[in-house]
Amino acid sequence: MTVVLKVGGASTSGVAEAVATLVEAGGSVCIVHGAGPQISEEMARRGLEVQFVGGRRVTTPAALEVVRESFAAVSAAVCAAVGPQALPLAGDEIGLEAEQLPELGLVGRPLPSAPPAVLAALAAGRIPVVSPLARGPLNVNADEMASALAVGIGARKISFLTDVPGVYHEGELVHSIVADHAETLVEGGVFDGGIVPKLLAAASAARNGIAAEIGVTAVVA
């Protein structure tokens, strides 16, 4: 069983434990990480405008340089937390695919793909740690990329590791939510911030037959 584990850029705490639990259960693990806080902080430091549209970062050539540097730093931190089995892979170098969204600059909507480097790493018992850049290069939302990669490699499960227990709705922790309902709530503005791309990515994965969870919240088709 292959599991895609999406890790945020804010903290690598809990990554080693999550990987160990999945491996002990007999799973092969592929990690996709973000670097949102680091990118925004460094862009602000350099005087670059930080702007998001629908959860995707507007990315100029100057911003893309920051994105790549931040991904490299987070990848190194994740690999250090996981240990010697971790294998850092830059998405644009291994052939992750996306269609460009010109209105957002150097940004892409990911397409399901199965890079040989990822498949080879999994077959060798390694843990690929993938940065969400696509060929171009294009900056891709890490949640969306994790979902597309899970579909591409035929993963059985995708798990979004977050700093909160799961999805909260009307003040209560939700243990299960149907994909269609989640999308309706997102469209209605019930959710905002970082949970939006996670919900949409999890809903997409669930519709493709992949078990999807955000913390303790299962997103089901």
State residue 187's pLDDT score.
92
Q: Which residue has the tokens 């990118």?
A: 39
- How far is residue 42's CA from residue 202's CA, in Å, rounded to a whole number? 29
Query: Which domains are present in the chain?
Result: 2-161 (3.40.1160.10)
Alpha carbon 108 to its chain centroid, in Å, reads: 14
* Strands 157-161 and 211-214, sheet pairing: parallel
| C-alpha dihedral sign at 36, 39, 42, 47 | negative
State residue 193's pLDDT score.
81
H or E stretch covering 94: helix 91-94
User: 142-172 burial string, b = 16+ CB within 10 Å, else e?
Assistant: bbbbbbbbbbbbebebbbbbbeeebbeeeee
- Read off the pTM: 0.95
- How far is residue 115's CA from residue 119's CA, in Å, rounded to a whole number? 7
For residue 197, count CB atoms less than 10 angstroms from its CB and return exposed for 0-12, middle for 13-18, buried for 19 or more: buried
pLDDT, averaged in runs of 10, over the chain (221 residues)? 91 87 93 95 96 90 97 96 96 97 97 97 97 97 97 97 90 96 94 89 97 96 93
State residue 76's pLDDT score.
96
Q: For residue 142, list its beta bridge partners.
A: none
Query: Longest Cα pair distance anywhere in the chain, in angstroms?
Result: 47
Helices 15-24 and 61-82: angle between axes, nearest 10 degrees: 60
State residue 4's pLDDT score.
98
Token pair in block for residue 164: 């909160």
- How far is residue 126's CA from residue 123's CA, in Å, rounded to a whole number? 7
- How far is residue 128's CA from residue 173's CA, in Å, rounded to a whole number? 31
State residue 88's pLDDT score.
98
Token pair in block for residue 199: 């919900």
